[in-house]
Amino acid sequence: MYIVHAIMRMEDYDCQFCGRTATNFVFAAFVCDSAECIEKARIERGGPGGHMKRKAQGLPIVIDNDDQ
Ligand SMILES: [Zn+2]
């Protein structure tokens, strides 16, 4: 078995935030080398955690035999 890496021609893409040639693909966005643009991509994606902040509520496991 071997892994085939998809070759992405970055020069075919522009940074989604400043329009320069993209050199990175981060947070599902094409961005240039600018830390600002990478940060924007991160924020647009929902920031650290994003929707994952809504943690599943840890409901206690209770064995209830009252129904019997
Ligand atoms: Zn940029």
Instruction: Please give the distance, rounded to the nearest whole angstrom, from the Cα atom of residue 46 to the centre of ligand 1.
Output: 18
Instruction: Please give the distance, rounded to the nearest whole angstrom, from the Cα atom of residue 7 to the centre of ligand 1.
Output: 21
Question: Tell me: the pLDDT tens digits for 29-38?
Answer: 999 999 999 9
Is the pLDDT score of 41 beyond 70?
A: yes
What is the CB neighbour count within 10 angstroms for residue 30?
A: 20
> So what's the pLDDT on residue 46?
80
Q: What is the DSSP letter of 44?
A: H
Instruction: Please give the distance, rounded to the nearest whole angstrom, from the Cα atom of residue 28 to the centre of ligand 1.
Output: 14
CA angle 5, 6, 7 (to 5 degrees): 110
